[in-house]
Amino acid sequence: CPLTPLLFFHSVGDLQRACHANEVKNGDTVYFNGGSLMWKRSSIMEAAERGCCGAIDADINDAYGNDRDGVSRSPRAGTGGAGGGNYSFQPYAYPRAALSDWERVMCKATIEDYRKHFNLKIGVYVQEFSISAEALDALSVFVNKHGDIYDQGLAFGGVNGTAVKNIHGDGYWNQRYMGRSWDFVARPSKEMTPLKPEDHHLVQKAIQAGAWGQVGTIYEVMDEKAGALTVPPPREPCNLVNTERIFF
């Protein structure tokens, strides 16, 4: 039987940019690191180390208030009261109907809007060696609660239902230094154009120059202004119909 092609991204922001660059097509199955959806409340010590005011978290929490489940959101707690602890989820991770009026003004589109626009099948993964039990619990509950969006679930390569003790982190690890942030102003449209074209094409050129260049490029677009850069055809023809497609 035919294999299902999968597209992998560092972050949900990378997925958003690929959609605008016409590198994602209708019906694609996509995965990105679920840590890019999360936000962790800073401790006083962590805030002090960054030179930030410890009251910033409280101010954000007051702005968002409490959700309909009675759980404080800072920006938004995604577990509905089950686990999660200090981990919360960004507004763009939620169904649009769950956002407040203020959040809808601030966040023009959520991942749900892109799922509907491209008829995507969405899943998330994590770096298993860098995710705490608390973060894994928060992400698992969140994905299960919003299964209409994340219908491919959470890909976790560890023992089912088990996390290693004494591990700290959200599973995003060093991908946070490569993955791009969500663009709060962008939204799906009939005519999609790249977000920050110079940045996008710089990344594409770097991918093509590497050893994984031919695998890392998704869809060819003849006009460089319209999306992905055109990849020269391989010297020897090969059948890529059932080949997994990976994008970094």
Tell me: the pLDDT tens digits for 216-243? 444 444 444 444 433 334 445 444 444 3
**Which is more confident, 103 or 221?**
103
**Among 2-6, 30-34, 114-118, 200-204, which stretch is predicted with the lowest mean pLDDT?**
200-204
How confident is residue 196, by pLDDT bands cut at 50, 70 and 90? confident
Confidence of residue 4 (pLDDT cuts 50, 70, 90): confident
Which residue type sits at 64? Y
Q: Return the DSSP state at 170.
A: B
Mean pLDDT in residue range 207-213:
55
Peptide bond into 2 cis (omega under 30): no
pLDDT score, position 25? 93
pLDDT score recorded for residue 200: 65
> Average pLDDT, stretch 6-16?
94
Q: Which of 19, 247, 4, 226 is nearest to 112 (CA)?
A: 19
Q: How many CA atoms lie within 13 A of 159 on its CB side?
A: 5
| pLDDT (average), residues 5-16 | 94
Question: In the chain, what is the straight-line distance between the N-terminal and C-terminal CA atoms, in Å?
Answer: 27
Q: For residues 218 and 8, what is the distance between their CA atoms, to the nearest angstrom?
A: 10
Q: What average pLDDT is seen over the chain?
A: 73
97: three-class secondary structure by DSSP? helix
Beta-bridge partner residues of 39: 88
Q: How many CB atoms lie within 10 A of CB 98?
A: 16
Give the residue with greater pLDDT, 245 vs 130: 130
